[in-house]
A and B are shown apart, each in its own frame.
Chain A
Amino acid sequence: MSTFIVLSITGLGLGAMYFLIASGLSLIYGLMGVLNFAHGAFLTVGSYASWWMSEHAFHDVSPILLRFLLGALCGLVAGAVFAALVELVLIRPLYQRHIEQVLVTVGLSLAFVALVQGIWGPTLRPYAVPGWLHETTTIFGAHIPNDRWIEIATAGVVLVLLQLFLRRTRYGLIIRAGVENRAMVTALGINVRTAFTLVFAIGGVAAAIAGVLSGVYFSTIDPGQGTRLLIFAFIVVVIGGLGSLGGSAFAAVVVGLLQQYVNFYASAGIGDIAVVLLLGLVLLARPRGLAGAFAT
């Protein structure tokens, strides 16, 4: 029983990261029709920027928690700025040319990983976090690493904030309307392009949060982490239904849990294959993902 609880919480923690990546992917796709292959690069920007700032700029900050938070904040800002720049410089000139936009993000993701590898090397970098994050809390006899709670809570907060933003603000309204019918929004004289940059920046922040959390989860960062997590985020987005935030959240939880359970109860690595099988089954039953069943 205690193993089951540990697996569940760990699966949720993993699902939290998938959701953070998938939410940005899904919003960007829903609004702009762009499959953002460079989303892994946003994650890498977040994790490396926070790591670098915390190692160099805030080296002397005394409580390690403050140092971690300052680093994380810088990571988020870097992620947002980088993502907005990518949209302005690389995506915008190719407006409405979807395949070319995908190609550019593919090129960017390859070039960026190579660049990070060139600067900081392909090796794993230890990621400094407050010590209590690696301690465990005992619940129903299960020893659960504390960082899992942080991951789950952060993803929950991001989900709520995103929903509030989409439902309660003017820009959220424009984004929702744009996802539904971009041509009509444009025809009404609303500048959708600002919303594009905004959505990219939001996606960048969410991916950067995932980058920081992946540093916390794995205790290390490396240049390939973004791409590895991105593949599962893609699966989550397709299972959840492209463009649906709620669908992504649900699918992220399912994928994270399934992966953990199968990896433990069957054999290591089979969990990843089970996730792909689930994807195949969902596509056979519901080619458009679960979004119909779990609309927002």
Chain B
Amino acid sequence: MRKRIVADFAWPLAVFGTLAFVPKVGWDIPKLFDSPISSPGTLNLLALCLVFGGLALTYDLLFGFTGLLSFGHALYVAVGSYITNIAITDWHWSFAEAVLCSAAVGLVLPVVLGFVSLRVSGIAFAMVTLAFAQAGAVLVDKDPHGWTHGNEGLSPDYTKLPSAFVGVFNTKHLYWLALAYVAIVFFVTRWAVESSPGRIWQAIRENELRVEVLGLRPRAYKLMAFVLSSFLATIGGIVYLLLNNTSDPSVISPNFTLMLLLMVVIGGAGSRWGAVLGGIVYYYLDNRLGAVGSSSTVQDLPHVLRTPLEQPLFLLGTIFILIVFFLPGGIAGLAARGRPRACAGSRRRFAPAARSVVHRRRRSPNRRRAHEYGDL
């Protein structure tokens, strides 16, 4: 028991506490970052990495812990980013009101959409969430009320933003905000998955039919996970808005959700550290691989080799496929492999969950579905 408290609270607190001192570090790490760590550019990159770590963890709550494969998570990030932005810029609300408003939407919208989309499960659920997110993307793009500025993106009215988060000199505040976000998501997730509904989420992931047979209603529990994860994503969207200082349509594109999925799988589905690390590593690589692509070493390569290397998404997609094939637990699975067996097996902290999500979950529902559809 004591070991658990150390592992679940003391270690994370120590790690987040140490990360809080990063803006005070003046080191220059030439290969990894363009400028010294305490410079605004690098701090901004690090802050974005942290936000994506948090967002990936909210997605992990759905995919890794509950076994819900959603393709529409970006919608809720966009709710945070766009509604806050529209409220202060187009409706001239104060920042606090705007945040409250988007948080309220981030709570109500997933209840409604989750209620509808959880009527189906498995792959159909994935497609339905994708469709809802697409409806949001169309709204942002077509911009019927002249609020979102369509493809150009919307820059917030900076006079309404809290002054501590505006300007290059305040980048370190943004970094701390991002760090606070990922820490909050981390501890909320810890609390949620260890609560009694949280245990049922994991049971649903392993075998939904069994949960049903036990007399519980999987759908209500799945809705709970869906709403919590979407709400946290909305909060992340607000932080993302402050960091990026703009809301643009990429935040609601299907690729944004797929990116979160890639982060979680690369890090290790069903593991808190894994998802956060996956988000950080993915965003960092996505950002830095572009620089590698335009470096002189790559530019001197023959055309056949150069073209793929210039595309970060091609490289990340390939890495992702390789991880799915050869490293099913992601980074966290790799860490678990290195640990002594008794420790890893006693509690599945670095859960080999990606594999178990994949292996066990769908067997019976699928066979059932095949029957239900009857002949072709």
Q: Considering the chains assembled together, what is the distance between the CA atoms of A237 and B127 in angstroms?
A: 9
Question: Known: A118-B314, A283-B120. Is A35-B362 also a contact (CB below 8 A)?
Answer: no
**A284 proximal to B (CB < 8 A):** yes
**B291 proximal to A (CB < 8 A):** no
Contact assessment for A35 and B127 in the assembled complex, using a CB-CB cutoff below 8 Å: yes
Q: How far is the CB of A154 from chain B (nearest CB, A)?
A: 21
**B192 proximal to A (CB < 8 A):** no
Q: Considering the chains assembled together, what is the distance between the CA atoms of A97 and B324 in angstroms?
A: 11
Contact assessment for A108 and B317 in the assembled complex, using a CB-CB cutoff below 8 Å: yes
Q: Which of A49-57, A58-66, A72-80, A287-295 contacts B (4 or more CB under 8 A)?
A: A287-295
Instruction: Give chain B residues whose Cβ lies under 8 Å from the Cβ of A94.
Output: 324-325
**A135 proximal to B (CB < 8 A):** no
Contact assessment for B358 and A97 in the assembled complex, using a CB-CB cutoff below 8 Å: yes
Q: Which of B139, B307, B314 has the most CB of A within 10 A?
A: B314
Question: Known: A99-B362, A108-B317, A243-B376. Is A269-B144 also a contact (CB below 8 A)?
Answer: yes
**A227 proximal to B (CB < 8 A):** yes
Q: Which of A123-131, A137-145, A179-187, A189-197 contacts B (4 or more CB under 8 A)?
A: A179-187
Q: Using CB atoms, name the residue of chain B closest to A25.
A: B127
Q: Which residues of A170-214 are within 8 A (CB) of B?
A: 175-176, 179-183
Contact assessment for A35 and B123 in the assembled complex, using a CB-CB cutoff below 8 Å: yes
**A153 proximal to B (CB < 8 A):** no
Q: Which residues of A269-296 are within 8 A (CB) of B?
A: 269-270, 272-273, 275-277, 279-280, 283-284, 287-288, 291, 295-296
Q: How far is the CB of A254 from chain B (nearest CB, A)?
A: 15
**A158 proximal to B (CB < 8 A):** no
Contact assessment for A296 and B376 in the assembled complex, using a CB-CB cutoff below 8 Å: yes
Classify the interface of chain B: helix, strand, loop or mixed. helix
Q: Which residues of B76-101 are within 8 A (CB) of A?
A: none
Q: Considering the chains assembled together, what is the distance between the CA atoms of A272 and B246 in angstroms?
A: 26
Contact assessment for B317 and A114 in the assembled complex, using a CB-CB cutoff below 8 Å: yes
Instruction: Give chain A residues whose Cβ lies under 8 Å from the Cβ of B144.
Output: 267, 269-270
Q: How far is the CB of A237 from chain B (nearest CB, A)?
A: 7
- Per-residue contact bits, chain B 111-154, to A (CB 8 Å; 1 contact, 0 not): 00000110110011011101110110011011010000000000
- Per-residue contact bits, chain A 108-134, to B (CB 8 Å; 1 contact, 0 not): 101111110111000000000000000
Contact assessment for B366 and A98 in the assembled complex, using a CB-CB cutoff below 8 Å: yes
Q: Which of B116, B131, B374 contacts A284 (CB 8 A)?
A: B116
Q: Considering the chains assembled together, what is the distance between the CA atoms of A83 and B118 in angstroms?
A: 31
Q: Using CB atoms, name the residue of chain B closest to A176.
A: B376
Q: Considering the chains assembled together, what is the distance between the CA atoms of A287 and B116 in angstroms?
A: 9
Contact assessment for B314 and A276 in the assembled complex, using a CB-CB cutoff below 8 Å: no
Q: Using CB atoms, name the residue of chain A closest to B132.
A: A276
Q: Which of B132, B310, B324, B376 has the most CB of A within 10 A?
A: B376
Q: A280-B132, A287-B120 are in contact. List 15 more A-B contacts (CB 8 A).
A: A29-B123, A33-B366, A35-B123, A35-B127, A102-B69, A107-B321, A110-B258, A111-B317, A180-B374, A180-B375, A242-B124, A270-B142, A270-B144, A276-B135, A284-B116
Binding site for B on A (CB under 8 A): 27, 29-30, 33, 35, 90, 93-94, 97-100, 102-104, 106-108, 110-115, 117-119, 166, 175-176, 179-183, 227, 231, 234-235, 237-238, 241-245, 267-270, 272-273, 275-277, 279-280, 283-284, 287-288, 291, 295-296
